[in-house]
A and B are shown apart, each in its own frame.
Chain A
Amino acid sequence: MLVIPCPHCGPRNEDEFVCWSEVVPRPADPAALSDLEWTDYVYNHANPRGWVREQWWHEHGCRRWIIVERNTLTHEVARTEPAPR
């Protein structure tokens, strides 16, 4: 069971959150990408074994998006921060 310290609400149970995806910066100019580069952005994941930065949604809390740094091997949550607007 994860306890995720929401930067807006404090520590909350994982039940309240939705894990969305690892953070991948959106390409500045999608039209300039080749099909393969765009496919890589849309579908592929690093899916690392260890630390990862993810976007989570605090659905049953403040309903805001946050960034969670989490370890996929140990389930530690190192820190969270508000998602950039």
Chain B
Amino acid sequence: MTSAKRRLPGLERQHRSLQKCGDASVTSVKQRFSIFSLLRNALGYRAGWQRMWRSPEPKRRYDVVIIGGGGHGLGAGYYLARDHGIRNVAVIEKGWLGGGNTARNTMTIRSNYVRPPSVPFHEGSMALYRELSRELGYNLMVSRRGMISFLQSSQAARTAARMANTMHVYGAKYEFIGVEEIKRRLPIFRPPPRPRLELLDGVYQPEAMMARHDAVAWGFARMADAHGVDVIQNCEVIGIRRDGGRVTGVETTRGVIEAEKVGMAVAGHGSVVAAMAGLRLPIEVQPLQAWVSEPVKPVFDEILVFSGYGCYMMQSDKGELVIGGPTDPYPSYAQRGSFRTIEQVTAAVLEMFPIFSRMKLLRHWAGMLDIVYDGSPIISKTPLRGFYVDVAGAGGFKTTPMAARMHAWLIAKDEPHELIGDFGLDRFARGRLVPEGGVSFNR
């Protein structure tokens, strides 16, 4: 455990070093949201609300261009301005803000990972999420629900125990609670009399959260804009300009934009954009489906994960049951998946909760995940100088603030922060993979 001991004070230092790096003042926040502004604008027939961000024409040249206007990209723009004082930045998005896979995830924020580099990264992200609404002045509707994983095999229990130990080293709680406690917490749950997989135990992460995913993108966009970052929508990248092994700008549907540095924060199209830069990445794109029932009154609080069936269920703030499972098992850019996943996962959920069998499904969608070979993020320099990538690895919503912050650090300093030292692209050639599983485990 020498490495864990070495890392433990490191974590404190890492977080301190992050706090030290500047808090450049906001140039202008057009409007603040509070109960008073709500009242004032209600009295004024809501005519006083302003646009939350400008919609500027792209300039000819920026210090940094971030490709991708989802949570990760907008966050990177915000942290570049706030932490590093780099304000001549454009975040360019081919559609509308947060309209890609930021809009297509299932809102869960958790940190139950098994490898030493993963836990502090995800824990740090959760810590940022807890403060983010206040920091951005924008309600992300972060809701600390807790997460219960149903352990349905001794293998799953062993993995959970290992996770609990790794997480304990970093001060994260992951507790075994037993079947009786699951029943106490979930009055609606009665273990089925003849289950396919017997429920052996439960493990609980009290700090797991849900948040309003769109609001994360919008909150970052608003504050990035307030710091002087240009947020440019309907601007698709069609080429990456290079000169002698160095990036010089991007070609877009709205003309050429020169840039000293370019950061890539696209989900689901990582390989496509990287190919424009002449790079190949160790990723495959896979659809991750989720579907939502009609809304009902609150019946349970926690995020429920059924490890044996590889699926999960939670109840959103609106009262809908949100259900999802593993990724569809082949690469796809189609933003839709196969019916068999829906059928298998729904069957598994109904086996555990037959009471929901009469509920109707309202909506269904598939997000696209850039699945990295080892399931961990890539936040890294690339062989093309000045070109940086932020690839989520499996699901990227939970890591949004930390990944964005680390991406901004990497772009500003051209060196990775030690929190992401193990998430470089070079780990594959060096054989230092960080294999992680999770719900969408596919290897």
Task: Tell which of B285, B331, B429 touches A36, judged by Cβ atoms closer than 8 Å.
Answer: B429
Q: B112 in the interface, Cβ–Cβ < 8 Å?
A: no
- Least CB distance from B187 to A in Å reads 36
Contact check, A74 vs B283: say whether CB atoms are below 8 A apart: no
A19 to B429, CA, bound (A): 25
Chain B: how many interface residues by the 8 Å CB criterion? 23
Q: How far is the CA of A68 from the CA of B157 in the complex (A)?
A: 38
Decide if A47 touches B334 in the complex (CB within 8 Å).
no
Distance A43 CA – B340 CA, assembled complex (angstroms): 28
Within 8 A of A (CB), among B368-399: 373
Alpha-carbon gap, A76 to B332, bound state (A): 11
| Interface membership of B339, Cβ < 8 A | yes
Q: Inside 8 A of B285's CB, which chain A residues have their CB?
A: 47, 72
Q: Are B338 and A47 in contact (CB-based, < 8 A)?
A: no
A47, B340: Cβ atoms under 8 Å? no
Question: Nearest Cβ in chain B — how far from A73, in angstroms?
Answer: 5
Shortest CB distance B188–A (Å): 32
Q: Which of these, A19, A43, A45, A73, contacts B330 with CB under 8 Å?
A: A19
B437 contacts the other chain (Cβ, under 8 Å)? no
Closest to A38 in B: B429
Q: Which of B269, B270, B282 has the most C-beta atoms of chain A within 10 angstroms of its own C-beta? A: B282
For residue B281, which residues in chain A have a CB less than 8 angstroms away from its CB?
Answer: 44-45, 47
**CB proximity of A83 to chain B, nearest CB, Å:** 16
Give the interface centre of A14, A44, A70 by most chain B CB atoms within 10 Å.
A44
Give the contacts of A28-85 with B (CB-CB under 8 A). 35-36, 39-40, 42-49, 52, 54, 70, 72-75
A1-14 CB mask vs B (1 if < 8 Å, else 0) is 11000000000001
Interface of A is mostly: mixed
A14:B338 contact, CB within 8 angstroms: yes
Q: In the bound complex, do residue B271 and residue A45 qualify as a contact, i.e. CB atoms below 8 Å apart?
A: yes
Q: Min CB distance, A22 to chain B, in Å?
A: 8
Residue of B nearest to A75 (CB): B334
Chain A interface residue number, banded: 20 to 34
Q: How far is the CB of B275 from chain A (nearest CB, A)?
A: 8
Are the C-beta atoms of A15 and B340 separated by less than 8 Å? yes
Q: Which of B280, B334, B429 contacts A72 (CB 8 A)?
A: B334
A73 touches B282 (CB 8 A): no
Is A44 in contact with B282, judged by CB distance below 8 angstroms?
A: yes
Is the C-beta of B96 less than 8 angstroms from some C-beta in chain A? no
- Report the bound CA distance from A6 to B32 in whole Å: 61
Q: Which of chain A's residues have a CB closer than 8 A to the CB of B272?
A: 49
In the complex, per-residue mask of B331-351: 1 if CB is within 8 Å of any chain A CB, else 0: 111100011100000000000
> Are B329 and A18 interface neighbours, CB within 8 A?
yes
Instruction: Determine whether the beta carbon of B338 is less than 8 Å from that of A52.
Output: no
Residues of B within 8 A of A18 (CB): 329
Q: Do A46 and B280 touch across chains, with their CB atoms under 8 A apart? A: yes
Question: What sequence of 0s and 1s flags, for each residue 295-332 of chain B, a beta carbon within 8 Å of any chain A beta carbon?
Answer: 00000000000000000000000000000000001111
Distance in Å from the Cβ of B381 to the closest Cβ of chain A? 15
Find out whether the CB atom of A1 lies under 8 angstroms from the CB atom of B280: no
The docked-state distance in angstroms from the alpha carbon of A7 to that of B410 is 49
B284 within 8 A of A: yes
Q: At the interface, yes or no: B428 with Cβ under 8 Å from chain A?
A: yes
Closest to A42 in B: B428
Which residues of B are found within 8 Å of A1, using beta-carbon distances?
338-340
Using CB atoms, name the residue of chain B closest to A70. B330
Measured in the bound complex, the distance between the Cα atoms of B334 and A48 in whole Å is 12
Q: A43 near B428 (CB under 8 angstroms)? A: yes
Q: Are A72 and B331 in contact (CB under 8 A)?
A: yes
Instruction: Find chain A residues with CB under 8 A from B329 CB.
Output: 18-19
Does the CB pair A2–B338 fall under 8 Å?
yes
Q: Is the pair A35, B429 in contact by a Cβ cutoff of 8 Å? A: yes
Cα–Cα distance between A73 and B334 once the two chains are bound (Å)? 5
| Cβ contact within 8 Å between B284 and A47 | yes
Bound complex: CA of A78 vs CA of B373, how far in Å?
27
> How many whole Å from B51's CB to the nearest CB in chain A?
33
Using a CB–CB distance below 8 Å, which chain B residues touch chain A? 269-272, 275, 280-285, 329-334, 338-340, 373, 428-429
The 4 lowest CB-CB distance pairs between A and B, nearest first, are A47-B271, A19-B330, A43-B282, A44-B280
Chain A to chain B contacts (Cβ below 8 Å), 18 pairs:
A1-B339, A18-B329, A35-B429, A39-B429, A42-B428, A43-B282, A44-B280, A44-B281, A45-B271, A45-B284, A46-B280, A47-B283, A47-B284, A47-B285, A49-B269, A52-B331, A72-B332, A74-B334
Contacts A14-B338, A44-B428, A72-B331 given; 11 further ones with Cβ under 8 A?
A15-B340, A22-B331, A43-B373, A44-B282, A45-B280, A47-B284, A48-B271, A49-B269, A72-B285, A73-B334, A74-B334
